[in-house]
Amino acid sequence: MEQAINILERYWRFTSFKPLQEDIINAVLSGQDVFALLPTGGGKSLCYQIPALQMEGICLVISPLIALMKDQVEALKEKGIKALALTSDYRAEDIDTMLDNCIYGNYKFLYLSPERLQQDLVQGRIKQMHVNLIAVDEAHCISSWGHDFRPAYRDISILREFHPEVNMIALTATARPKVVQDITTELQLQNPQIFKKSFKRENLALQVFDEEDKYERLERLLTKHTGSSIIYVRNRKSTVHISDYLNSKDISSVYYHGGLANKEKTEHFQDWKSDRVQVMVATNAFGMGIDKADVMTVIHINLPESLESYYQEAGRAGRNSEPAYAVILKNEADTIRVKNQFLKVLPDVKLVKLVYHKLCTYFQVAYGEQPTESFDFNFDHFCKHYELNGITAYNALKILDRNSIIAMNHQFENQTNMQILLDTKALFDYMAKRGHVKEILQAFLRTYGGIFDITTKVNINLIANKVNREVPDVIRVLRQLEQDEVIDLTIAQTDARITFLEPREDDKTVNRISHIIEQQNKLKHDQIKNMLKFVNNDQQCLSIQLLTYFGEKDVSPCGICTVCDTEPVQTTHTKTVEDISHIQTLLAQSPLSSRQILQQSRLSEKRLTLLIKLMLEKNLIGITETNTYKLLTK
């Protein structure tokens, strides 16, 4: 391992490996097939990157995530390591040249998606490459019982035909036992060495709080735990709103979501990473490539969609082995909300067939035909034309895309170009006379510095979020500005491009994947059920619940979660009478919320909750219209 340690020190500036990394690297270097289950923060990428750098040739890395591929390639390039990623950003002629570079240019890593691997051009060139290792990242995608199932993953094994002498390593952060079996079978791993690191995190306290006022709890948590923090929310608008709220409470915060311009993403990330701000409020778009070991607290203000997602996101806290906290804030409304958000929008087989049929009709694709060209696609127009629900229709299109019936390439970020035609003085004179456009124009000026000088790609969703307006409102203002010759504007009429990957056969086309649709829908229902069971079970250690879900046995209480780390609820009768009397004294002055009682007493939160419940049962107190507690007179 001396050479491996030298590579680790030279490129990554580490002097030792994390648990299991050394064993995995040894197994790979000895030519064995390997399955590695390393939870978030376990250092999966080094397990194939270091052995690949030791050997002659190029490592093929199969990954489903374009953003992750780009992050990995950029990180390798910064270290002086030659790497490429065949993403959808490149044209066919670019791909041709890049593949030649992989054959003749001493490149060490080629990242590509499983769908890209199916292309004849790519397969032909891979046959000519000197491949030293095949790495399958996010390997759970190969299992129809795994989250983010990608059918194209099941065709990765074709690489074994091209290079039968090359060993393979499959890596994932979350997989239940059934998924592990699927991975080893589908990838045809030969007598694989299986490495599993326990999901248990000794330093990470799992906490679930039932909270009507989530913002107040946020403030308390972040004031108590002043280290670097991440708050995960469900939508883009919430990232901005919560970040503004925290800043108003003198808790420094920035936000992050997929609609931000790259410059703003980078600025916000660097502010947080360098500890200029305490909190990052983000959608789950924030996650890949986070290399910050000292995150103290990860808070989910909405329920995650699965325990897999929760564990991955929560696991970004405490990677430096210092005490850390993974917090879920929930209330009764969350159960209804999570079911509406994730279950009611699942398309069944019948709906997928309908959407596919309408899509073929929309583009006038005849039965038995497979068009050779791609089509510009205006999704909103498509849904309105056929009176389809936007969310379920989009999910149906995603199913068709994932199962390689169509390819849907999004173009949301590049659909609008704009340049201001007036000079600064004339522009401000214009704004002074038309106050209704001032806020929107100012948002463009602050976001895009060169918009006076050159035609600039702009993100209308981003501006709409900044000024708290709907996208159509912003577009109406831009059209008025264009008509007044204030700006030069080009708004593309399409959201995406659609390519049909097989001939149209209507129901027959979807029937081939109907079992996958039904199985994935069942999986989603099971995941939500397990998530709700986890947050509502206050009798069993949260760590035990999580570890059991992932198939671990002989687990013991963690001692630090909200179930374990509480004072005994059984106290003496005298103590209970004293505590109730104290609460009554406080309420004699005026009705109070539970938060106010907590602040004015020395009771723990769990103890107060128990006493309030007891006092309500005995009709000692009642609840006012403003959800405060008041004394009841007998």
Helices (H), 131-205: 158-162, 177-186
Query: What is the CATH architecture assignment of 416-491?
Result: Orthogonal Bundle (1.10)
CATH of 349-412+495-512, one of 1.10.10.10, 2.30.40.10, 1.20.1640.10, 1.10.3720.10: 1.10.10.10
Confidence of residue 45 (pLDDT cuts 50, 70, 90): very high
Confidence of residue 43 (pLDDT cuts 50, 70, 90): confident
DSSP 102-148: HHHS---EEEE-HHHHTSHHHHHHHHHS-EEEEEESSGGGG-TTSTT
Confidence of residue 88 (pLDDT cuts 50, 70, 90): low
The string of pLDDT tens digits covering residues 26-38 is 999 999 999 999 9
Cα–Cα dist 158/117, whole Å: 9
Query: What is the CATH architecture assignment of 204-340+526-549?
Result: 3-Layer(aba) Sandwich (3.40)
CATH of 573-631, one of 1.10.357.10, 3.40.50.2300, 1.10.10.10, 3.40.50.300: 1.10.10.10
Cα–Cα dist 463/482, whole Å: 17
Cα–Cα dist 259/458, whole Å: 11
Instruction: Pick the closest to residue 610 from 576, 560, 573, 562 (CA basis).
Output: 576
Amino acid at 115: E
The string of pLDDT tens digits covering residues 168-183 is 999 998 888 889 999 9
What pTM, to 2 d.p., does this model score? 0.74
Instruction: Pick the closest to residue 301 from 253, 266, 250, 346 (CA basis).
Output: 253
Residue appearing with tokens 């999580």: 546
Cα–Cα dist 558/199, whole Å: 12
Residue appearing with tokens 């790497």: 83
- Which uninterrupted H or E stretch holds 349? helix 349-362
- Which uninterrupted H or E stretch holds 417? strand 416-420
Backbone angles phi, psi at 151, to 5 degrees: -55, -30
Cα–Cα dist 346/83, whole Å: 38
Give yes or no on whether 349-412+495-512 and 573-631 have one common fold.
yes
Q: Mean of the pLDDT values across residues 544-563?
A: 93
The string of pLDDT tens digits covering residues 573-631 is 888 889 999 999 999 999 998 888 988 887 877 788 889 888 988 899 998 888 789 99
DSSP 10-40: III--SSPPTTHHHHHHHHHTT--EEEE--T
The CATH number given to 2-196 is 3.40.50.300
**Domain range annotation of the chain:** 2-196, 204-340+526-549, 349-412+495-512, 416-491, 573-631
Determine how many CB atoms are found less than 10 A away from the CB of residue 634.
5
H, E, C per residue of 255-297: EECCCCCHHHHHHHHHHHHCCCCCEEEECCCCCCCCCCCCCCE
The string of pLDDT tens digits covering residues 143-158 is 878 777 888 888 899 9
The strand pair at 496-500 and 406-410 is best described as: antiparallel
Q: Is the pLDDT of residue 634 over 80?
A: no
pLDDT at 316: 92
pLDDT at 412: 44
Confidence of residue 275 (pLDDT cuts 50, 70, 90): very high
The single-letter DSSP state of residue 482 is H
Q: What is the mean pLDDT of the chain?
A: 89
High-pLDDT (> 70) share of the chain, %: 97
pLDDT at 369: 95
Dihedral sign, CA of 181, 186, 189, 194?
negative
| Cα 144 from chain centre | 20
